[in-house]
Structure 1
């Protein structure tokens, strides 16, 4: 065996003790092996190729694969999440009295055209001076006044706009009703989950729909300290991202009733605009006054007089004033 062949054999054995199948550590040559692998001055003068370049003399393990388990872990971590998408039954919504893209000439559609116009003007008019003007909370004094009905109608109406998109957030974390109306599971991760889990982002809980400009965020996993979560610094950060990240987007929060829970009051102080739904012939004036006191920190409060009978039809329609 020549001197070169003995050096190659010794170097290979030296490298072998550095490799561990469990860690996948790439072999590193010893100092002695490096000295032996370095071309001598004589070799350089003669123009001979370094040992590791010569045919038949493999000095280093060029491609050392890491264990499959490590490759799989890395691949799983870097896998891009796919945004969920649902198909809303628009005909069913229409039968429930909700505005849809296929029935734009209905009396309900006209009502919500009137309702959305000042809200959009406040949100995108730089002269309004509103902070977070594109964040709109829809609430009511008591349960059953139609706030979720109005939230969905308002979102569907804004989705018809040419220049704006809408994100509907189910913030009624105690009794979410939007999933049942729009046809998706209330067990989907949502608002409370991204507040609690720093690994989750807004995009991770968004649900796209077959209405091109309408996206949803569910309420998420129920939590006993939901009020504290909605009033937390993390929630404030999320709201700022929603307000500033998409310049053309209206974000509608369907919140709990003001006089029955404290979650809506925690949200109200961070909203740009609030819409208070008042049920006709049921909600008293004093009840409305009590509700308004809870949200007096917000500069822009609009009211929807809901379920008012009109002379032209026996049906119930919302009315803005």
Structure 2
């Protein structure tokens, strides 16, 4: 797989201006195209048609590789600044376009979590790290409405310097299995820390069915991309997305 999702603006930046706030259990009104574009999110209107089609194409390729079964997909940037969170967020949005599918976006960048800010979600109820350390007992308490139909956010929670021991725990595996569920058409997108900065991406790859590596177009050297891709089981590696950064 070799895709190039164009930027809605600056894909490596994760800013959320003028956002409404959602808490776990709250239901938001659908977001307008203007707000979606402020949050660097694809939608169905012509103004971002090229970008939306790029993510739809990526979704279609992943579904073909996964043979239409429920999937856990790890989106892992080669290094900081590649726009991995942008790709993960918009890939999740592309899955949610399909009314027969539901998707959970799980932010596992414990040191630099961004998805809650980008999606305008108040994570006062905690997130992944709080669930894994036992501070939050109920998995449903860390699942937040995003204002995008069929797309739920599981934020990272309180930032942690190290997370590998949590990600390799049996509680993490049980959490991912529970999020995947058994209902048809359910997908989990994991937003990973950079591959070359820590072992966390490799640890998280054990939980994934497919892995998408994100390289900033013209930013990461070929040798660095090859080094990052070699961190993973080749049978799980779906390919590399070259993310345009302006």
- The TM-score normalised by the length of structure 2 is 0.81
- Selected match of 1:118 from 61, 69, 80: 61
1:153 corresponds in structure 2 to 90
2: CA distance, partners of 1:208 / 1:91: 19
2:152 corresponds in structure 1 to 215
2:227 corresponds in structure 1 to 290
Long gaps (5+) in structure 1: 1-81, 127-132, 309-315, 317-321
Long gaps (5+) in structure 2: 1-23
Report matched runs for 1:160-199 at 5 Å.
160-185=97-122, 187-197=124-134
1:61-80, Cα deviation, whole Å (9 max, x unpaired): xxxxxxxxxxxxxxxxxxxx
Kept in 2: contact 1:124–1:134 (CA 8 A): no
2:26 corresponds in structure 1 to 84
Considering only aligned residues, what root-mean-square deviation do their CA atoms show, in Å? 2.5
Kept in 1: contact 2:102–2:151 (CA 8 A): yes
Kept in 1: contact 2:119–2:146 (CA 8 A): no
Kept in 2: contact 1:258–1:291 (CA 8 A): yes
Paired residue secondary structure (1:294)? coil
Kept in 1: contact 2:120–2:146 (CA 8 A): no
With over 3 angstroms needed to count, the CA separation of the structure-2 counterparts of 1:260 and 1:85, relative to structure 1, is farther
Deviation at 1:187, TM superposition (A): 4.8
Deviation at 1:117, TM superposition (A): 0.2
1:229 corresponds in structure 2 to 166
1:74-131, Cα deviation, whole Å (9 max, x unpaired): xxxxxxxx713456564233245420244586110111111110212333436xxxxx
With over 3 angstroms needed to count, the CA separation of the structure-2 counterparts of 1:176 and 1:119, relative to structure 1, is same
2: CA distance, partners of 1:220 / 1:95: 23
Deviation at 1:243, TM superposition (A): 2.6
- The TM-score normalised by the length of structure 1 is 0.63
Bigger Cα displacement from structure 2, 201-210 vs 95-104 = 95-104
Kept in 1: contact 2:104–2:179 (CA 8 A): no
Larger RCO (CA within 8 A; separation ≥ 6) = 2
Kept in 1: contact 2:215–2:242 (CA 8 A): yes
Aligned residues: 223
- Structure number with higher helix proportion: 1
1: CA distance, partners of 2:111 / 2:124: 13
Q: Please say which structure displays the higher CA radius of gyration.
A: 1
1: CA distance, partners of 2:25 / 2:50: 34
